[in-house]
Amino acid sequence: MRENLADVLTSHDIAIDPSPEPSISLTQAEAGIIAGHGGLATANRYSRSFTNDDHRGTSVSKIADLTRRSRLVILFVCSGGRVDPDPESGAGIGLARRLLARGTQAVIAPPWPVPVFIARPWLRAFLPPFRSGCSLIDCCYLANQVVGEATSYDPSRYLAMTLYGNPFISTGPGSATLGGRR
């Protein structure tokens, strides 16, 4: 995915961290973009980890720790936005929920598996209005509409990138520090 998104990210001056492990640089980013493969536990189908293309796993806790100061985390991780009820407490649990609980203000992630090819048009449509000061809710809507147009409005694709947390976050031109990983 890194190669697929490189030109989109670099055209917006977003650094791509090529390391196989999540970087400490995510702790300094106002917004982070994380891509990988989501993993659900076999026994209970809850998010347990995600891996990169080299099948190196990273725990949900590590990502939550690294992004706890971020205003926004965008997850191109299958089922990264999935929220399941805890069997004992009934509280919602999942990767996006965990990031929010640790301090991230907003997470945009798919609650189900999505094809890799939606990341490019989604980011291409999302980044310009976000960098211009548009609110997250509007940027996410616009990007989802672009994916819809490209996929004949297949709901499993154009409704996949779901916003959790504060929908009113916005930023002025050039004021966001974005960090990427893949």
| Structural domains of the chain, ranges and CATH numbers in brackets | 2-181 (3.40.50.1460)
Q: List pLDDT tens digits, range 30-52.
A: 889 988 877 666 665 565 566 66
SS3 (DSSP) at 143? helix
* Count of CA atoms in the C-beta half-sphere (13 A) of 92: 12
Q: List pLDDT tens digits, range 42-95.
A: 665 565 566 666 667 777 788 888 898 899 999 999 889 988 888 888 888 888
- What is the gyration radius of the CA atoms in the chain, in angstroms? 15
Q: List pLDDT tens digits, range 7-29.
A: 999 999 888 887 777 777 787 78
